[in-house]
Amino acid sequence: MKTRKDARALVGFATHDDAAVYKLSATQAVVSTVDFFPPVVDDPFAYGQIAAANALSDIWAMGARPLFALNLVAFPTKVLGLEVLTAILQGGQSKADEAGIPVLGGHSVDDPEPKYGMAVTGVVHPRRILTNAGGRPGDALLLTKPIGSGIATTAIKRGLASPELTRRVTALMAELNRRAGETFASRRFAVHALTDVTGFGLLGHLCELTFAARVRARLHLSHIPILQGVPALAAAGVVPAGSAANLEHFGAKVRFPKGLPRDIQLVLSDAQTNGGLLAALPEREAARAQRALERVGVEAARIGELFAGRPGIDVVD
């Protein structure tokens, strides 16, 4: 997509990054993002929490700090009632409170299908922006949340998810990426690239990282954290259309182990809602970063590494 060029526009369409960044001065840039979607769980308060956490994630994925948010609402008031809408907004407000920012307004429209999310504005030093384009050969890859939320929420919609999986995935999607984002942005480690794993799934977002940085990635299948019960659901055909589309689109850029079942390929491609942060940083600093994340309550898995080669991914056992 073509748009007017502006030297102060530091991050835009080019790298398919998580948010736009616009330079205000030598020491300050504004970060702007927007995200909203239909309900992924039945509980309206939890849905509000998840949608808000998902929108906020893009700010931390850029190494930035959120300042404020605006609500985005599409809602069939006459069908669902104001009580449901109030619960959704309260859920979103609870996550804004947890992030330490105000919600300063927003916009709503009447719509047959409910949708909720936020536009979030943040700030970052122009020289401290973390994008998905800085990965280097020799970098280790850290992932801060297990994958599988798309398959799990599809199981919830079909009445096939266990109470434990429902509880786990709801809590996972509502969990802010604040602690992980602030740790990666702390400058205690030389983080070369950062993104969050959302709609394109792990393979899709990692593919984008490799193409932006012109490197290749190796993923160790046994090291990738996956929500318990998700592989069995995928094997039973419980897979959202978005995850299948991800595999179709990015699969040609991925070399899978011979004989790897398609359902596992779909798990790796699973479209996530407020998934974890995916970071590339020097191998020598990976263990120290994992320990720092653990101290703030984030369990990060080292899932692979980057190396010189044609952009794309090699999945190994």
In terms of Cα–Cα distance, which of 115, 108, 102 is closest to 50?
115
Buried b (16+ CB within 10 A) or exposed e, 258-275: eeeeebbbbbbbbbbbbb
CA distances from 16 to 20, 154, 196, 207 (A): 10, 26, 12, 11
The predicted pLDDT at position 12 comes to: 66
36 shares its domain with 148: no
Structural domains in the chain (count): 2
pTM (predicted TM-score) = 0.93
Residues with Cβ within 8 Å of 55's Cβ and at least 6 positions away in sequence, in order, are 33, 34, 35, 36, 69, 117, 118, 119, 120
Assigned domain for 100 exists: yes
164 shares its domain with 305: yes
Q: Which structure tokens are listed for 82?
A: 């104001």
Q: Which of 98, 124, 150 is the last residue of a domain?
A: 124
Which range marks the domain in which residue 47 is found? Answer: 9-124
Assigned domain for 132 exists: no
112 shares its domain with 196: no
Assigned domain for 130 exists: no
58 shares its domain with 164: no
Q: What is the pLDDT of residues 128-175, one digit of tens each?
A: 999 888 999 999 999 999 999 999 999 999 999 999 999 999 999 999
Cα–Cα distance, 242 to 248 (Å, whole number): 10
Asked if residue 172 lies in contact with residue 146, where contact means CB atoms within 8 angstroms, the answer is yes
The predicted pLDDT at position 197 comes to: 96
Assigned domain for 1 exists: no
Q: Which structure tokens are listed for 24?
A: 């205000």
What is the edge-to-edge ordering of all strands in the sheet holding 254-255?
193-196, 277-282, 139-143, 301-307, 216-220, 312-316, 254-255
Which DSSP helix (H) or strand (E) runs through 104? strand 103-110
The predicted pLDDT at position 16 comes to: 64
13 shares its domain with 93: yes
Count Cβ atoms below 10 Å from residue 159 Cβ, excluding itself: 6
Cα–Cα distance, 244 to 226 (Å, whole number): 17
* Residue located via tokens 């490197």: 215
Nearest-10 crossing angle of helices 44-60, 163-174? 40
116 shares its domain with 146: no
* Residue located via tokens 């659901």: 233
Q: Which of 78, 101, 124 is the last residue of a domain?
A: 124
Q: What is the pLDDT of residues 89-117, one digit of tens each?
A: 999 999 999 999 999 999 999 999 999 99
In terms of Cα–Cα distance, which of 57, 210, 56, 223 is closest to 142?
223
**HSE of 303, CA atoms in CB hemisphere, 13 A:** 28
Residues with Cβ within 8 Å of 25's Cβ and at least 6 positions away in sequence, in order, are none
Assigned domain for 133 exists: no
Which DSSP helix (H) or strand (E) runs through 292? helix 283-295
Spell out, as residue ranges, where the chain has pLDDT lower than 70.
1-4, 12-18
282 shares its domain with 197: yes
Domain with 41 in it: what CATH number? 3.30.1330.10
Assigned domain for 273 exists: yes
Domain with 191 in it: what CATH number? 3.90.650.10
Tally of helices (H runs) and strands (E runs) in the chain:
11, 13
